[in-house]
Amino acid sequence: MKIQEQNDTIVAIATASGYGAIAVIRLSGPNAISVVDSIFQGQKNLTEVPTHTVHYGKIMNARQSIIDDVLVTVFRGPHSYTGEDSVELSIHGNPLISQKIIGLLMEKDVRLAQAGEFTRRAFLNGKMDLTQAEAVAQVIAARSESALHGARNQLDGLLSSKVGALRSLLLDAASLLELELDFSEENIEFVNKIQLIQKIEDIESFIQELIASYAYGKIFRDGLNVAIVGKPNVGKSSLFNFLLKESRAIVSPIPGTTRDALQEFFTYEGLSIKLIDTAGLRFTEDSVEKEGVNRSEHWIKIADFILFINDVETGFSEDIYQQLLKISSKNRIIAILNKIDINKSGIRDARFDVKISVHRGEGIAQLLDKIKEKAVGDFQYTENSAVVCQERHFQQLKSAQEALLHAKQSLEQGLTGEFVAIDLRKATLTLEEIIGRVVPDDIVNNIFSSFCIGK
């Protein structure tokens, strides 16, 4: 994506498409205020009003016909979202009105904003760093309380502050080593090597904590894929409907009713879960049903966890379980015994993780707790949690960790300070890429290309 020059004025609709009570049009750039003022008729000239003020008036076309009644909010740079002069027009939420107003503005040398360009300008103008800019998209896309909390922490700069503090420590150590090299002929030592090793170990340990948090951050960001698997008529679709609290899947005593995977989202204690009701695993000659079984295997492969359902009549289906182990791993399988309201046969079988009755709702809470326990354990977002949610951050932290481990090895092997300094600088630059102090243009372009147009 080619980003145009930042010295022009951009415009975009900032609210969802379609009809609604109101819509918001956003402008940013050197001429944002004057351009809106040229089509605005109110009690004051917008070019003269103070920042962060709202003004009622009308938008007029070239023939002095009224387009709409509006509220105009003026933000003067650098005290705005983008750091530039910015204007937001609150209008009636009819796409015809927004199209007319944007058309009028574009006639006055204003261009349409590209994806994420408002937030990109905020980043380039120092209003936020790159991790905070990425968090803007996460806040918008969050599916659950946990995802929203994590995105909010990142937007507030918690991850940035942690990474920035580590960067400062590494920068200090590298600078002292490089200074020591300048005085190598005088044999002056600025850095105690034992203390430096300890400092590197401390920093590496904290980076490892951030790396480990990615397993949870990814779950909170994307949610869990949970597939329901089992023989016909053990209660797969009944459990699917019960968890969704609606009759989404057809429930029938006829085997093979579910021919394709059904997918729906629900949340449990802040965690987003995509539930997949599969066609099950079984041998069949029916070509359509066989395709359903093939699709079941696909979902089992990509699922975070598998709800392996059995009932008191069939007991533990060893054949299905062995098929699952060929496709997935044991720690991703939750073995369930259903229909315990009919009789208690098999209830003492230790192979079952949870015993339930979908008909009565018995044991469902324990099942949901089991899913969350296996996914995140005791991990909880707090106001002080710095959690890695982005693959980019994860990979860069691993690169920084690798450079630190190499620096430590060089120190332990007695290599000269220049080798150690190179690795410390590499780790520092990698951390700087996370927060955007040093980052290639193609990475920046890729990040903002995933944003919506008006953000």
CATH 3.30.1360.120 boundaries in the chain: 10-128
Fold classification of 10-128 is: Gyrase A; domain 2 (3.30.1360)
Q: What share of the chain is helix, strand, coil (3-state, %, to 5)?
A: 45, 20, 35
Cα–Cα distance measured from residue 375 to residue 20, given in angstroms and rounded to the nearest whole number: 39
Average pLDDT on 199-228 reads: 90
Q: Does domain 223-376 bear CATH number 2.40.50.100?
A: no
Per-residue pLDDT tens for 66-122? 999 999 999 999 999 999 999 999 999 999 999 999 999 999 989 999 999 999 999
317 vs 386, residue with greater confidence: 317
Three-state secondary structure call for residue 174: helix
Average pLDDT on 32-38 reads: 97
CATH 1.20.120.430 boundaries in the chain: 135-219+390-436
Position 420 confidence tier, pLDDT thresholds 50, 70, 90 = confident
CATH 3.40.50.300 boundaries in the chain: 223-376
Tokens, residue 120: 């990109």
* Percentage with pLDDT > 90 across the chain: 51
Q: Backbone dihedral region of 18: left (phi > 0), alpha (psi from -120 to 50 degrees) or beta? A: left
52 vs 2, residue with greater confidence: 52
Three-state secondary structure call for residue 302: helix
Residues 6+ apart with CB under 8 A from 125: 77, 78, 82, 83, 84
Per-residue pLDDT tens for 272-284? 899 998 865 554 4
Query: CA 435, 439, 443, 449 torsion: positive or negative?
Result: positive
Position 257 confidence tier, pLDDT thresholds 50, 70, 90 = very low
End-to-end CA separation in angstroms for the chain: 16
Q: Quick one: pLDDT at residue 259?
A: 46
335 vs 17, residue with greater confidence: 335
The CATH classification number of 135-219+390-436 equals 1.20.120.430
Per-residue pLDDT tens for 140-198? 888 888 788 888 888 888 999 999 999 988 888 877 776 666 555 555 555 678 888 88
Position 254 confidence tier, pLDDT thresholds 50, 70, 90 = very low
Are the beta carbons of 240 and 258 closer than 8 angstroms?
no
Average pLDDT on 414-420 reads: 78
Q: Quick one: pLDDT at residue 343?
A: 76
Query: Residue 55: which H helix or E strand, with range?
Result: strand 53-60
Q: Which strands, in side-by-side order, build the sheet including 333-338? A: 262-268, 271-277, 224-230, 305-311, 333-338, 354-355
Whether residue 407 has pLDDT greater than 80:
yes
